[in-house]
Amino acid sequence: MAEPIVKIRELTKLYSQGEIQVTALDRITLDIAAGEFLALMGPSGSGKSTLLHIIAGVDRPTSGQCLVQGVDVTKLNESALADWRNHNVGFIFQTFNLIPVLTAAENVELPLLLTRLSRTQRRKQVETALEVVGLADRAKHLPRQLSGGQEQRVAIARALVTDPALIVADEPTGNLDSHSAQEVLGALQSLRKDAGKTIIMVTHDPKAAAFGTRQIHLEKGELS
Amino acid sequence: MTIPTFILKNALRNKRRALLSISSGAVSLFLLVTLQVALRELTLPPQSAGAELRVAVRNKISITNPLPVRQRGIIEKIPGVEAVTPFTWFGGKYKGEEGMSFAQFAMDADKLHSVFGEAKMNGDGYEKFNATKDACVLGKITADKYHLKVGDQMTLDSTIYPGSLSFHIAGIYFGTPDDRNMLFRQDYLDESIGEPGYVGMWWLKVKSADDMVPVIKAINAAFQNTSAEVRAESERNFQLGFISMLGNIKTLIASISTVVVFTLVLVTASTMSMAVRERFRELAILKALGFRRRELFAFILAESFGLAVAGALLGIGGAYCLYTFGDIGKMTAGIFVSFEVTPRIMGVAALVAALLGIIAAVAPSLSVARMSVVNGLKTLD
């Protein structure tokens, strides 16, 4: 097997709730191969979102290691981590989280504002990303002019516009009807198949998880 | 899209709030400029062309105490003195008005040109003033205000002397920093009140600027230990002495200005806090996408600064246009004859706007900086 893109070793995350300490993740060890579509399942409070956040570099573990493409994201300072996220991770959220005053194209362009790309280059990449998700004709639409499924596909375009190796999706179909959910999951599947992206998706839904190449379950902070 | 476009779209996402915020800034800065100009006009009255050669002589006890006529001969003999005229406050009310809307002074007609030479008159105003005992000359502002012209008669009821006096307008003067006063002849006043042998003040002109200090010293010394000791001073010092009596007004204006600035800071800070709180989720997303604290701070600062600058442009620009191109005499019913919005005042107001733009951005920026991406994202679900 090739070197995994994500390598997690003895990862523990403890939260303090007043005087009580809650174990969100308990010495997790996990490898995720490049090009994998991993469905991370588990009940609420099982720690799946926490694990996703640590892999994506938006949260820090209490102990343990989390290497993504060889970089231990737990060791990076805040500024370096922000830069790393911009180049290496694409985010997809349950509630789409598009900026309402920006058009679909402008929303997709947002992560590119941090790069040194010219305006023309940025526009080209945005067009490509929107084409990938089948929304090139909706480039100038504001989020409120799009359906939920279309909004989530714009979010997918935003996640892949910087061409990251890793895409993390936190309940991406949680707010969608079944038809839109199928569209979004299909788009994610295509990203893995056609673009070789590694996708980690948190979901409650077994039907959504079935789109993944592997499913793992978390229960009370432990892999089951 | 560029970063400035992104900032602009964010700033204008709630157009009504942005408009109200800019308007509140504009109104406050307009008020601040107005107060500062008023303060300047009160504390630094405009100086007339001949002021550097003029000396005001008043009773040392109080300006309301008169001076004996016999002092004139002594003053005239002091080396360096070119011309002397009495200058007596009449305190008249015109057309039964409640208050005095313009000042009236009695003086020597033949000294008007030599002492107050900057007053210009068309036609034979000076000659008529010299020739006719009940003649008066009137400042253009007052003449315009009451639609008075040369040849008209006007009657004033004095609040100091018994009865009324009627005058014929011999000329309308202009060209002084305050073309509002009415000047009439001291001999007419003396005659009407029975030659009391007193005048209100002396105003004199010295021959050169070098004579100013020696003349002032000589006048003060000449009447020392007499029944009417005097205080001679340059016109500028005389004006500033008046202004020192406005101490409370200065404090009041300064206090109002402080309140205006403080309110402005609160309004802008509150607007920015609301704007950022509404967008907390989006800012967390931006952080997740790779935007750093400093970039988010720059966004918030630019937005806050932009609102403040827009308010400043409207408020300061509005004040400048109104006071530069408007008729301040009409606007203030003659209270102010000039109302100059100086570059310094505009600069101070712009600085206040810039500072409040920065201060208003501090609190929301700190809360965004402290926000962890996870906590920000948690507000999403």
**Tokens 């706007």 -> residue:** B353
Q: Are B108 and B189 in contact (CB under 8 A)?
A: no
Mean pLDDT to the nearest integer, B218-232: 94
User: Of the ranges B95-104, B123-132, B155-164, which one carries the lowest mean pLDDT score?
Assistant: B95-104
Judged by a CB distance cut-off of 8 A, whether residue B245 touches chain A is no
Query: What percentage of residues in chain B have a pLDDT greater than 70?
Result: 94
b/e burial code for range B11-47 (CB count within 10 A of at least 16 → b): bebbeebbeebbebbbbbbbbbbbbbbbbbbeeebee
User: How confident is the prediction for chain A on average, in pLDDT?
Assistant: 91
Across B10-14, B157-161, B204-208, B335-339, the highest mean pLDDT is recorded for B204-208
Mean pLDDT calculated for residue range B44-68: 83
What pLDDT band is residue B68 in, cutting at 50, 70 and 90? very high
Does some domain include residue B234? no
Which CATH number goes with the domain that contains A191? Answer: 3.40.50.300
8 Å CB contact between B343 and B245:
no
In a domain, A32, yes or no: yes
Domain count, chain A: 1
- B25 and B173 in a single domain? The answer is no
- Match 């000359």 to its residue by tokens: B137
**ipTM computed for the complex:** 0.89
Range of the domain at B310: 3-45+246-378
Q: How many whole angstroms separate alpha carbon A188 and alpha carbon A200?
A: 10
Mean pLDDT of residues grouped by 10 in chain A (224 residues)? 84 88 91 93 90 92 93 91 92 87 94 91 94 92 93 92 92 86 89 90 91 92 86
pTM of the model: 0.71
**Do B40 and B68 belong together in one domain?**
no
pLDDT at B278: 82
Per-residue buried b or exposed e for A94-125, using 16+ beta carbons within 10 Å of the residue's own CB: bbbbbbebbbbbbbbbbbbbbeeeeeeebbeb
Q: What is the number of domains present in chain B?
A: 2
CA distance A172 to A204: 10
**Residue of A91, A98, A116, A167 for testing the chain B interface, max B β-carbons within 10 Å:** A91
Q: Is residue B233 part of a domain?
A: no
- Which residue in chain A has the smallest CA separation from B11? A101
**Chain B residues touching residue A85 (CB < 8 angstroms):** 288-290
Q: How far is B301 from chain A (nearest CA, A)?
A: 18
| Cβ proximity of B350 and B258 under 8 Å | no
Cβ atoms B349, B32 nearer than 8 A: yes
Cβ-based burial of B2 (10 A; exposed 0-12, middle 13-18, buried ≥19)? exposed
Cα(B275)–Cα(B124) distance, integer angstroms = 69
Question: Who has greater pLDDT, A197 or B50?
Answer: A197
Q: Tell me how far apart the alpha carbons of residues B181 and B139 are, in angstroms, rounded to a whole number.
A: 5
Would you call B292 an interface residue with chain A, using a CB distance cutoff of 8 Å?
Answer: yes
Residues of A whose CB is below 8 A from B282: 97, 99
d(CA A24, CA A218): 10
| Of B201 and B333, more confident | B201
**Does residue B185 lie in a domain region?**
yes
With respect to residue B237, please indicate whether it lies within any of the assigned structural domains: no
In this predicted structure, the answer to whether residue B246 has a pLDDT above a threshold of 80 is no
Does the beta-carbon distance from B6 to A102 stay under 8 Å? yes
Q: Which of B107-121, B225-239, B267-281, B317-331 has the lowest mean pLDDT?
A: B267-281
Tokens of B20: 């109200």
**Residue B101: pLDDT above 90?**
no
Q: Is residue B239 part of a domain?
A: no
Cβ neighbours of B162 (radius 10 Å): 8
pLDDT value at residue B86 = 96
Expressed as residue numbers, the domain containing A38 is 6-223
Judge whether residue B46 has pLDDT over 70: no
Residue B70 lies in a domain: yes
Q: Of B128-137, B294-303, B365-374, which range is least confident?
A: B365-374
Cβ-contact B202, B72 below 8 angstroms: yes
Chain A positions in Cβ-Cβ contact with residue B379 (cut-off 8 Å): none
pLDDT at position B380, please?
44
Phi/psi of residue B56, nearest 5 degrees: -105, 135
pLDDT band at B49 (very low <50, low <70, confident <90, very high): low
- Residues whose CB falls within 8 Å of the CB of residue B118, separated by 6 or more in sequence, listed in order: B48, B49, B50, B175, B176
pLDDT band of B47, cuts 50, 70, 90: low
Strand partners, A166: A89, A198
- B293 Cα distance to chain centroid: 46
Residue B50 lies in a domain: no
